[in-house]
């Protein structure tokens, strides 16, 4: 039994080894070069990253020295782009070749134009077509600086009125002043008189507050309260005097 299992185990081990040699990806490396658009690599934002897009995306941040390493990239066709907020970079076409040998073939790097159709297949009997390949490791050359401009919005009076609370408050007061006389005309005369009296008292209080005559206002309030407290005894005394006068008048008649 052991002799029958050994060949199978050896066969499976060889298949797995061959599969790993073929399927395992390679590391795609490169660096960012400097020019007039990027005079110093330290000016590159720290959140800049390199992205390989195909069936799935492979992302990696650009290091401080401008280099990047995309690890374990499987064989296939990819589009390499750079996500940067300040500098624009060209898109590149990366083809990772499947190698069955121990020596790994470097990826094929070309310029990529979005929306461009792929070239037709070569005729095997015809002469080979020259390919414009770029050097590897990848050299990312900045093309231009990204400049952000604020979009100027035209004059919009409605947006200006609705966006400013002072204009809204003034408009509400104007509408209230237009509607208030009509509401007052519909009120009952007695209720209107009470409202006018309360408004007059309010105006007097506001005038006293504006003139900073607080002491006189407080004195008036205190005097009014004292008068209200002293009125009942005076009325009681007057009633006593009238009663004494009536008794004396009755005695004189007798």
Instruction: Kindly give, in sequence order, each residue whose CB lies less than 8 Å from that of residue 131, ignoring residues fewer than 6 positions away.
Output: 108, 110
DSSP classification of residue 47: T
Tokens of 173: 């007061």
User: CA angle, corner 196, sides to 192 and 199, nearest 5?
Assistant: 140
pTM, two decimal places = 0.48
Q: Which long-range contacts (CB under 8 A, 24 or more apart) does 11-15 make?
A: none
| Three-state SS at 212 | coil
pLDDT for the residue 215: 61
User: CA angle, corner 60, sides to 59 and 61, nearest 5?
Assistant: 135
pLDDT for the residue 2: 45
- What gap in Å lies between CA 123 and CA 130, rounded to an integer? 13
Question: Please, what are the domains in the chain?
Answer: 2-114+129-145 (2.60.40.10), 157-239 (no CATH)
Q: Which residues of 232-244 are buried (b: 16+ CB within 10 A; e: fewer)?
A: eeeeeeeeeeeee
Q: Which long-range contacts (CB under 8 A, 24 or more apart) does 143-147 make?
A: 143/37, 143/88, 143/89, 143/90, 144/37, 144/87, 144/88, 145/37, 145/38, 145/86, 145/87, 145/88, 146/84, 146/85, 146/86, 146/87, 146/88
- Tell me the average confidence (pLDDT) per consecutive run of 10 residues in the chain, 254 residues long: 51 50 71 88 89 86 91 88 91 83 75 69 60 85 86 76 80 83 76 80 74 60 57 47 53 51
* Cα first-last separation, the chain: 158
CA dihedral 93, 133, 62, 91 (to 10 degrees): -40
pLDDT for the residue 103: 57
């Amino acid at each position: 039994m052991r002799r029958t299992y050994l060949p199978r185990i050896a066969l499976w081990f060889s298949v797995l080894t061959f599969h790993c040699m073929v399927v395992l990806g390679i590391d795609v490396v490169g660096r960012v070069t400097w020019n007039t658009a990027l005079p110093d690599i330290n000016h590159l934002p720290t959140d800049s990253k390199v992205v390989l897009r195909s069936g799935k995306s492979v992302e990696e941040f650009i290091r401080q020295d401008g280099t990047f390493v995309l690890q374990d990239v499987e064989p296939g066709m990819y589009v390499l782009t750079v996500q940067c907020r300040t500098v624009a970079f060209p898109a590149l076409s990366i083809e990772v070749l499947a190698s069955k040998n121990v020596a790994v073939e470097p990826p094929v790097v070309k310029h990529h134009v979005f929306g461009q159709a792929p070239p037709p297949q070569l005729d095997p009997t015809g002469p080979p077509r020259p390919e414009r390949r770029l050097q590897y490791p990848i050299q990312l050359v900045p093309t231009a600086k990204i400049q952000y401009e604020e979009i100027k919005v035209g004059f919009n009076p409605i947006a200006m009125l609705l966006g400013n609370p002072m204009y809204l408050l003034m408009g509400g007061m104007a509408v209230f002043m237009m509607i208030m006389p009509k509401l007052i005309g519909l009120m009952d005369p007695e209720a209107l008189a009470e409202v006018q009296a309360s408004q007059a008292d309010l105006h007097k209080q506001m005038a006293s507050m504006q003139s900073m005559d607080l002491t006189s206002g407080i004195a008036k309030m205190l005097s009014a309260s004292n008068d209200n407290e002293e009125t009942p005894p005076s009325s009681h005394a007057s009633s006593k005097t009238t009663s004494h006068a009536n008794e004396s008048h009755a005695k004189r008649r007798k």
